[in-house]
Amino acid sequence: MTDQPIKAIAIGASAGAVQALLKILPALPEGYPLPVLIVVHVPPDRRNALVSLFQTKCVLPVKEAEDKERIIGGTIYFAPSDYHLLVEADGSFALSLDEAVNHSRPAIDVLLETAADAYGPALVGIVLTGANHDGAVGLRAVADGGGMAIVEDPTVAQVPTMPAAALAACPSARPMTLDDIIFTLSKMATT
């Protein structure tokens, strides 16, 4: 990791996502300066209920990411269901209906790869619990771009497959418990 200040946090989660995120996101305090960009695998034909769920649990504003929206610090953004969420170099979102990646749309790889491209060393990428391999290639891109790569410790994750795959693809990633992740993210608020 470099001394460059962190500008964004990108998180991917699949099976077990809601429970893991219910620990992390409500712990982010008022005035938290960084934007948090999240892809959760959700079924395509259902209205995305994540935003309303987390709005009631979080201090920070929670919203669905919109196409061409400028990314603002201290906001939690969820990818809309059935669209890929991408980050542009100018710090705004783009959506796409390109084919599913790893059988998923939104795909964690797409968010992490484009965020790594946009933020480089100023990005923290996190792969949480899940039952597939999405996010592994993306987390590697985060590390290759100089960013900080974190996986939920596969020995304690609710479903270890996804963080284990990410760790295998990106051996420099740090395995952490959810509590460690919360601690790490809160430290970033003060630097």
Active-site option among 41, 104, 109, 133: 41
CB 57 within 8 A of CB 84: no
Query: Footprint of other proteins on this chain (CB under 8 A)?
Result: 66-68, 80, 83, 86-89, 94-99, 110, 113-114, 117-118, 120-121, 144-146
Q: Is residue 62 within a helix (H) or strand (E), and if so which, with residue range?
A: strand 62-64
| CB 94 to other proteins: min, Å | 4
Told to judge if 14 belongs to the known catalytic residues of this protein, a careful annotator would answer yes
Q: Before 5, cis peptide (omega within 30)?
A: no
Nearer Cβ to other proteins (113/152): 113
Active-site option among 14, 81, 133, 153: 14
Residue where the block lists tokens 């418990």 = 177
Nearer Cβ to other proteins (30/90): 90
| CB 80 to other proteins: min, Å | 6
Active-site option among 81, 134, 153, 179: 134
Tell me the sheet residues that pair with 151.
Answer: 127, 175
Told to judge if 144 belongs to the known catalytic residues of this protein, a careful annotator would answer no
Nearer Cβ to other proteins (74/146): 146
| CB 148 to other proteins: min, Å | 12
Told to judge if 133 belongs to the known catalytic residues of this protein, a careful annotator would answer no
| CB 97 to other proteins: min, Å | 5
Parallel/antiparallel/unpaired status of strands 84-87 and 62-64? unpaired
**Pair of tokens at residue 169:** 């693809």
**Pair of tokens at residue 90:** 């100018």
Residue 84's nearest CA partner among 127, 128, 41 is 41
Q: Which residues are catalytic?
A: 14, 41, 134
